[in-house]
Amino acid sequence: MKISKLHDFMETRSFALMVGILLTVMVGGIVQIAPLFYIDSTIEEVEGVRPYSPLELAGQDIYVREGCYLCHSQMIRPLRDEIERYGHYSLAAESMYDRPFQWGSKRTGPDLARVGGKYTDDWHVFHLTNPRAVVPDSVMPPYAFLNDKKLNAKLIGAHLAAKKAIGEPYTDEMVALAEADIYTQVDPDSDDIDAFLARYPKAQVRNFDAQPEITEMDALIAYLQIIGTMVDFDEYQANINDNAR
């Protein structure tokens, strides 16, 4: 009876109804927001995910600069057709060092969340230079100029320092060696390979575009080849299954 009377009271008095709605929204908002002040991160960390190497980071900057994200998402949804086409669904942790993140659902071109290792470096050079030579109906513009544009590595140390300042786990050593690490990653004969791979596990070391100078094409391909390769999904799924038992 009391509930019925309260219901009638609220429905016949617009101001009281408005106050009730505001109180409900406020309480709901506090319940959702307050816990965020007491936890370090809302993202579950996954083994293998690391910050990008200097060359990969430079490649991601080029990827964003050229607007690749406008036609290619990096977010495989947990739907059967997407998983069968692209691979394991995307994990939030895979994007924890992406600023800006590369999610989305608009796919003028295919999703690239699992593109790392799918094609050879030569394929990427050929495709980026002349997309329609690979896919005749492609609407992707050519990026041949990346072959001729030398990569500016001078500011990469400052970039890593900025990332470190906002909480990404770059060390002082990584920042100090940032420019040198760019040259190390494209030279398999470098004396610092082992130390570099200790800093950036699973980084691929080679001359990506087969040119003497380090170009923006090198950086972009280094980035493309690492996307989706940091996590061992067989091991990840095995851990999920063990925890579910």
Structural domain spans, the chain = 2-38, 54-244
Least confident of 30-34, 187-191, 202-206, 229-233: 30-34
pLDDT in tens, 133-154: 999 999 999 999 999 999 999 9
Backbone angles phi, psi at 216, to 5 degrees: -65, -25
| pLDDT of 123 higher than 90 | yes
Nearest to 72 by CA among 4, 141, 134: 141
Cβ-proximal residues to 165 (8 Å cutoff; 6+ apart), any chain: none
CATH architecture of 54-244: Orthogonal Bundle (1.10)
Give, rounded to a whole angstrom, the gap between the first and last alpha carbons of the chain.
48
Could you tell me the pLDDT band of residue 42, with boundaries at 50, 70 and 90? low
pLDDT in tens, 45-99: 788 999 999 999 999 999 999 999 999 999 999 999 999 999 999 999 999 999 8
Could you tell me the pLDDT band of residue 244, with boundaries at 50, 70 and 90? low
| pLDDT of 43 higher than 90 | no
Residue 135's Cβ-count burial label (10 Å; 0-12, 13-18, 19+) is exposed
CB 230, CB 239: distance < 8 Å: no
pTM (predicted TM-score): 0.83
